[in-house]
């Protein structure tokens, strides 16, 4: 599955066209969302892909670099009111199993069933240009690091589930989906993306 969803508020027609033209070979859905009046504009981009495909195989590094430059220009145009940005990577898993108690038509539907296997979000709401751009540029490194961690986990889980029944394996994977869905926020002090927690939220608000 290859899909990109763009949710935005306050972007110009030219800015939207620049993003759409960049991903013209993908299935794109665009939605206008409600304003957050704390920011001049809001941009949320969801990348929906097969969980077995690496992100930078889904989106080439060249396209990603162009997207980063487009977002930098959007941010600079917003000045002090800022741009609220969220990049969301959604890994979809196709369940491939059959239930002997159902007819062939229902089995065929099961074969095509898809679930969200993992969701990784990068929330960037810094109004300072330097902090915003630093965070934007470091998303790429974080994605690559996460990919390596998930690959290690995948190999470990495959060994653990080799002898389990299919239905048990599916339940395990669905349960794991919730645990592996994470939100990252950019820490401008340490200059790195950190996992969002209630503590992170309270520290940020106290600044």
What is the pLDDT, as a whole number, of residue 112?
57
Q: Give the residue with greater pLDDT, 156 vs 107.
A: 156
Q: What is the mean pLDDT of residues 46-52?
A: 93
Band of residue 207 on the pLDDT scale cut at 50, 70, 90: very low
Band of residue 179 on the pLDDT scale cut at 50, 70, 90: very low
Q: Give the residue with greater pLDDT, 32 vs 206.
A: 32
Give the 3-state secondary structure of residue 162. Answer: coil
Secondary structure (DSSP) of 112-154: T-EEEEEEEEEEE---SHHHHHHHHHTHHHHHHHHHHHHHHHH
Band of residue 94 on the pLDDT scale cut at 50, 70, 90: confident
53: left (phi over 0), alpha (psi -120 to 50) or beta: beta
Is a pLDDT exceeding 80 seen at residue 206? no
Q: What is the mean pLDDT of residues 85-110?
A: 64
In this predicted model, what pLDDT tens digit does every residue of 8-31 receive, in sequence order? 999 999 999 999 999 999 999 999
Band of residue 122 on the pLDDT scale cut at 50, 70, 90: very high
Predicted TM-score of the model (pTM): 0.75
CA atoms of 138 and 121, how far apart (whole Å): 14
Q: Sign (positive/negative) of CA torsion 32, 36, 37, 38?
A: negative
Q: What is the mean pLDDT of residues 90-109?
A: 57
């Amino acid at each position: 599955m290859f899909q990109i969803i763009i949710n935005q508020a306050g972007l110009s027609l030219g800015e939207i066209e620049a993003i759409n033209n960049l991903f013209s070979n993908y299935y794109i859905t665009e939605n206008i969302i409600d304003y957050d009046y704390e920011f001049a504009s809001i941009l949320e981009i969801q990348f929906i892909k097969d969980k077995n495909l690496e992100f930078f195989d889904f989106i080439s590094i060249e396209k990603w670099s162009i997207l980063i430059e487009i977002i930098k220009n959007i941010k600079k145009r917003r000045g002090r009111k800022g741009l609220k940005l969220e990049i969301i990577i959604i890994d979809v898993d196709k369940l491939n199993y059959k239930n002997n108690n159902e007819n062939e038509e229902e089995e065929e539907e099961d074969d095509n069933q898809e679930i969200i296997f993992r969701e990784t979000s990068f929330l960037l709401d810094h109004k300072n240009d330097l902090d915003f751009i630093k965070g934007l540029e470091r998303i790429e490194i974080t994605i690559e690091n996460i990919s390596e961690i998930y690959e290690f986990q995948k190999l470990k889980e495959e060994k653990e589930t080799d002898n389990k029944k299919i239905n048990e394996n599916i339940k395990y994977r669905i349960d794991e989906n919730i645990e592996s869905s994470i939100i990252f926020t950019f820490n401008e002090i340490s200059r790195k993306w950190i996992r969002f927690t209630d503590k992170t939220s309270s520290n940020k608000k106290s600044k």
